[in-house]
Chains A and B, each alone.
Chain A
Amino acid sequence: MTMLPRFRRLFRIDRGAVDVPVAVADELQFHFDMTIDELLAAGKSREEATREAHRRFGDLEQTRLGLQHIGRVRVTRERRAQWWSGMSQDLRYALRGLRLSPGFTIGVMLTLGLGIGANATMFSIIDPLLFRAPSHLAHPDLVNRVHLATQYQGKEFFRANYSYRTFLDLSRDTHSFADFVGYWPRNLAVGDGTETQERRVTGVSASFWQLFPVRPELGRLFSAQEDKVPFGENVIVVSWPYWQSQLGGRRDVLGQHLHIGKLDYTIIGVAPRDLIGLELTHPMGFVPLTSMATNSFEDRGAGRRYYDSYSMNWLQLVAERKPGVSVAAATADLQQAMIRSLEQKSALQPGSDPIASLKPRAMLSPIQFEAGPNRSTATKVGTWLVGVALLVLVIACANVGNLLLARALRRRREIALRLALGVTRGRLLAQLLTESLLLATLGAGFGLLLASWGGSVVRHTLTPDAEAGGVFSDPRMLAFAALTMLVAALLCGVAPAVMVLRADLAGALKSGSREGGYHRSRLRVGLLVVQGALSVVLLVGAALFVSSLRQVRAQPLGYDADKVTYVEQNLRGTALTDDQRYLLLDRLVQRAQELPGVVAASRTTSVPFYMDWGEPLFVPGIDSVSKRGDFVLQAVTGGYFRTMGTRIVQGRALSDADRAGTEMVMVVSQSMARALWPGENPIGKCVKIAADTLPCRGVVGVAEDIKRGSLSDDPGLMYYVPILQYPVGAFGIFVRTSAPATETADGIRRALQAEMPGNAYLTAQPLADLIAPEMRSWELGATMFTVFGGLALLVASIGLYSVIAYTVAQRRQELGVRVALGASVRSVLQLVVGDAMRMMAIAVALGIAGALLAARWVAPLLFHTSPRDPLILGGVAAALLLVGLAASFAPAWRAAHIDPATALRSE
């Protein structure tokens, strides 16, 4: 018995406990053997002894089974306990290890934090756009957005908005839906006098409250009775944020009145705090859809009222399927109703295209608008950036994996020794994984910090309208971060794990850590090549977007966006005749021109990237003008071209002398001239506007092309007429100042507001603000790719440096011998740098191949830039090779100056 402690260690890895039945059998066998021996010694026969032993023991089988059961329960429990204690031991071990090398820890934390932060940031942006259902939605899985598509000239178009008539038709003629909702978010003037501010108000059909069965914070919601055609009740359920910020959160707001648009509304309720509705931000309130219609549309006679017209398209449609109805069945049902609705429309409007040629198609998309067919550029770019963020994470993981691997290699002998001492590979793996998990957790913490800061920056650029939630308080966000963290931990841990699994015990123990280490760093080289290749991909992306952005910015707009302000009049119910409105606008132009700092001003009908006006054109000698393009009318006053800075390239500009009664004139754009009269002089040509029975209008000038609808491929088909000869579209004026418009816009608005009668008010926007969203996707792409690509390159170059330095350290002796044998500095440099360059060359080749592969998908996002631009690809390749050269030079230099004596002795 006293010998026991000596053997304890040997049997510690309880072989017996693992195989319970064997252990039990062994123990009992021992017992019987001993008993029988003793009885034999006492002089009994073997037969007697055996019988006696069994008698003493009792029911052997029963006992054996009992012992086995007890043993199994015990072993299970012990294993569990062992796992936990092993886990906490690993954690302590890992913590100690990390504390001992703070530089390594911080480096890894930053690298992983970057990767996780980038992903968390992109997730926080993409989630509400594509995945998250609006809060309070009763049955998110049953709710769809409704889209109707028709074909036009062989292309399918999804409408963005639908008429009230269509809404009524569809809700009446379908049977698959439990609820059909129409809604319209609109900016309306809210308040009176100087308090007046434009705010987002959402008109919703009463069925909206079935979709969102909420209990109001205060008061009540509105009913179908209050949302009746033609005039809904002017009642409003204000949103929680508006109630808090503008109404002081007081409980006596019910029954108070609010001047919204041109109507007077009574507050009947306050929506719950997190009811946002079907968009990304809180509106100021919800009003009955029909009351919104009354507020927004004039009564323009039978067939042109909002509820009996098919041509006024303003609604977005959402429907909730009945439980158990599939999307396919509901879509088929919807399509039938759509066709019936189109039939009614064509009955009302004879001469419309035959329904069959329209190829009508209905579609149900998820409730998230961006997941439907009308996806915005922001979402497209955002989706790309998600991919970029994932690449960054992979690069970060490859780098961290590399660092961990280096650590593991340094501890190779220790690991081999422990394996030899009987520590299982499983335990070692668990230890390594615990370490990478711990690092990933630290990284995730840092990443979330990064996301909460960086997220707001990116979100502001990409989706300025979306409401931001806190990163740390959002369970979806935290779940995502946790998931990313796990993925990162696994990715990082995999390389060292592979090494442990393949570890060749004898080799590692016999040799010094040197030789083995050099051999094994192939894995590190592989990781490095992956990093390098991905960096190339990102850098190519960065270069493509930067080039696109440069091209976009270099685009001649055809006007000075920076110095022009668009001032728009909003009558808000103030009754003015058309003539009075024209006079008012003329007065505004005149008043503006008197303001200090104002260079020129003009009335306008079309505003670039905001709205435009078109009329059918007829040109003698041309069959169908509309087939040659979509021509846009701009009716202006004399100062227009001076105001905008649009050059006249031929003939003359329009002037205030062109008025009713004088010769009918027009100016066309260069593109329009080319489209209508290729190779001819456009001056003096005849164009008829609106009807071919009207008199000719002579072309007197040609203006340079302008961008008005798209920065990339605008046809630029514009024509300009004197507004005095063609009095239409009385909306607003352009004002040019000598100072940038961003500084002057509000001053102009204040000064001109004095001219406005009654409740009418003005809004003023710098023209550049209207164009900015067009640039946004490229700006963001360029910024993000550059930032991520630069970081990737930095990380990869550090990785390269560490690998080369490591290899040099491992080959110290060999290099020492070479130097001793008379190798020149240059040949050693060549040897080491050559190694690095080979790696980088492989990385570059792979990266370029990857970039070429991705070219097809990235091409639509670029602007006048080929995704296969050899200059860009070559430049990036050269840059990476240069970085490789720089990163490997220092270690190579050290290698070439090894003192052979020390190197040889060091073994």
Chain B
Amino acid sequence: MADLDLLQGTLDLIILKALIWGPSHGYAVARWVADTTGDDLQVEEGALYTALHRMEKRGWIAAEWGLSENNRKAKYYQLTSTGRNQLHTKTEMWNRYARAVGRVLQTS
């Protein structure tokens, strides 16, 4: 189980979750993630954009240009059906993994 997978997987999971409410641009996603996780997770925004673009390439999310609230051109992302499936799978995986690590941490 490679570390990187976990890292990416977790980030993907968070972003997919952020898009569950509907199309959103990168800035809004970053804000939502920061607001929701507070100080617990400080997601680097560069990594976030990388993840967005990678998932766009894989077809988990689709991107279109639109106008933002303040009438500026912005790139909007939204979940595709593949993305929705990914979200379920990743949630499941995350829960199982966190449980497993938790067990190891609780042994003494």
- Complex Cα distance, B41 from A56, in Å, reads 12
Taking CB atoms, residues of chain A closer than 8 Å to B97 are none
Q: Is the CB of A31 within 8 A of B26?
A: yes
| Total residues of chain A contacting the partner, CB 8 A | 34
- Residues of chain B with a CB closer than 8 A to A26's CB: 73, 75
| Assembled-state Cα–Cα distance A1/B27 (Å) | 13
Docked pose: A8 CA to B67 CA in angstroms: 10
Whether the Cβ atoms of A57 and B65 lie closer than 8 Å is no
Knowing A4-B23, A30-B25, say if A67 contacts B66 (CB, 8 Å).
Answer: no
Choice from A7, A23, A73 contacting B57 with Cβ under 8 Å: A73
Indicate if the CB atoms of A30 and B74 lie closer than 8 Å: yes
Choice from B24, B53, B66 contacting A11 with Cβ under 8 Å: B66
Whether A66 and B76, one on each chain, are in contact in the complex, defined by CB atoms closer than 8 angstroms, is: no
Q: For residue B48, give the distance in angstroms from its CB to the closest CB of chain A.
A: 9
Q: What are the interface flags for B51-75 relative to A under an 8 Å C-beta threshold, 1 for contact and 0 otherwise?
A: 0011011000000111110001111
Judged by a CB distance under 8 angstroms, whether B102 is at the interface is no
Is A28 located at the chain interface by the 8 A CB criterion? yes
Once A11-B64, A30-B74, A63-B50 are accepted as A-B contacts, the answer to whether A58 and B27 lie under 8 Å apart by CB is: no
Scan residues 22-39 of chain A and give those whose CB is less than 8 A from a CB of chain B: 23, 26-28, 30-31, 33-35
A74 at interface by CB-CB < 8 Å:
yes
Contact partners of A71 in chain B: CB under 8 A: 53, 57
Contacts of A70 in B (CB 8 A): 50, 53-54, 56-57
Q: How far is the CA of A71 from the CA of B57 in the complex (A)?
A: 7
Query: In the complex, A8 Cα to B72 Cα: how many Å?
Result: 15
With A and B bound together, what is the CA distance between A31 and B22 in angstroms? 18
A823 CB within 8 Å of chain B: no
Candidates B49, B64, B74, B76; contact of A67 at CB < 8 Å: B49
Chain A contacts of B24 at CB under 8 A? 1
B75 adjacent to A1 (CB under 8 Å): no
A3 at the interface (CB under 8 A from B): yes
- A63 near B49: Cβ-Cβ < 8 Å: yes
Query: In chain B between 89 and 104, which residues have their CB closer than 8 angstroms to a CB of chain A?
Result: none
Do B67 and A74 touch (CB < 8 A)?
no
Interface on chain B toward A: helix, strand, loop, or mixed SS? Answer: mixed
Expressed in whole angstroms, the minimum distance between the Cβ of B55 and any Cβ of chain A is 10
**Complex contacts, A787 vs chain B, CB 8 Å:** none
- Contact A56/B44 with A4-B66, A30-B68, A34-B27 known, Cβ cut-off 8 Å: yes
Report, as a range, how many residues of chain B touch the other chain: 20 to 34
A60 at the interface (CB under 8 A from B): yes
Interface flag for A695 (CB, 8 Å) = no
**Nearest CB on A from B22, distance (A):** 6
Chain B proximity of A687: nearest CB distance (Å): 101
User: Which residue of A1, A12, A33 is within 8 Å of B22 (Cβ)?
Assistant: A1
Asked if B45 contacts A31 (CB within 8 A), the reply is yes
With the chains together, A30 CA to B28 CA distance in Å?
11
Contact of B6 with A by CB under 8 A: no
Indicate whether A59 reaches chain B with its CB closer than 8 angstroms: yes
Interface residue B46 (Cβ < 8 Å from any Cβ of A) = yes
For the complex, is B30 an interface residue (Cβ under 8 Å from A)? yes
Say yes or no: A27 contacts B76, CB within 8 Å.
no
List B residues 7-54 near A (Cβ within 8 Å).
Answer: 22-28, 30, 44-47, 49-50, 53-54
Known: A30-B27, A31-B27. A58 touches B44 (CB 8 A): yes
A71 to B63, CA, bound (A): 11
Residues in chain A near residue B49, CB distance under 8 A: 27-28, 31, 63, 67
| Closest partner residue, chain B, to A71 (CB atom) | B53
Once bound together, how far apart are the Cα atoms of A59 and B48, in whole Å?
12
* Interfacial chain A residues near B75, Cβ < 8 Å: 16, 23, 26-27, 30
CA distance A7 to B73 in the complex (A): 11
B residues near A62, Cβ cutoff 8 Å: 46
Which chain B residue shows the least CB distance to A1? B23
Q: Which residues of A contact B23 (CB under 8 A)?
A: 1, 4
Residues in A neighbouring B57, C-beta threshold 8 A = 70-71, 73-74, 77
Q: Are B56 and A74 touching (Cβ within 8 A)?
A: yes
A58, B23: Cα distance in complex, Å: 24
Asked whether B74 lies within 8 Å of A58 as measured between CB atoms, the reply is no
Give the CA-CA distance A778 to B28 in the complex, in Å.
Answer: 85
| B76 x A4 contact (CB < 8 A) | yes
A66–B28 alpha-carbon span in the complex (Å): 21
> Which chain B residue shows the least CB distance to A73?
B57
Chain B residue contacts of A27, Cβ below 8 A:
25-26, 49, 74-75
Can you list 14 A-B contacts with CB-CB less than 8 angstroms, sorted by A residue number?
A: A1-B24, A4-B78, A11-B66, A12-B64, A31-B27, A57-B44, A58-B44, A60-B46, A63-B49, A67-B50, A67-B53, A71-B57, A74-B53, A74-B57
Having A8-B66, A30-B25, one finds 7 other A-B pairs with CB under 8 Å, namely A1-B76, A11-B66, A16-B65, A31-B49, A58-B47, A70-B57, A74-B56
B interface residue numbers (CB < 8 A to A): 22-28, 30, 44-47, 49-50, 53-54, 56-57, 64-68, 72-76, 78
